[in-house]
Amino acid sequence: MILETGELGTLDAVRRASDLAMRSGADFIKTSTGKIKPAATMPVVLVMLEAIRDHYLRTGEKIGMKPAGGISTAKDAIRHLVMVRETLGQDWLDPNLYRFGASSLANDVLRQIVKQQSGIYQSFDDFSL
């Protein structure tokens, strides 16, 4: 279920929307379509992860999460993965439970791989948009 968190206005509203989505049967919650700003900010994602954690502790049901919009670098992705690990645990570091919705992230990951192989950063224009 896509929550379009950039339209919700407050973290309290994000929490309520997350709780309602899970109680309504969503097996995956997503921050946004990625078109509305802000979208997958660290505070918003943390609130959603905490809602998932609390739902899991209450029901034993594992709900997936997909942050979309705003995660554009490998460093951003690492920060999010650490937050997932610290909030939900190792089990959620699985594409069946957590995945990124960030096409621009793929380009930066490719740039990082080439940098590791060649020692030289590539231009953003060297990869498809």
Q: What pTM was estimated for this model as a whole?
A: 0.88
Q: Specify which residues 29 forms β-bridges with.
A: 65
pLDDT tens digits for range 63-122: 999 998 888 888 999 999 999 999 999 999 999 999 987 667 888 888 888 888 888 877
Domains of the chain and any CATH numbers: 5-103 (3.20.20.70)
- Picking from 3, 74, 84, 4, the residue whose alpha carbon sits closest to that of residue 42 is 84
How close are the terminal C-alpha atoms of the chain, in Å? 26
pLDDT tens digits for range 33-71: 877 788 889 999 999 999 999 999 999 999 999 998 888
Range 23-29 contact pairs with CB under 8 angstroms and sequence separation of 24 or more: 26/1, 26/63, 27/63, 27/64, 28/1, 28/63, 28/64, 28/65, 28/66, 29/1, 29/3, 29/63, 29/64, 29/65, 29/66
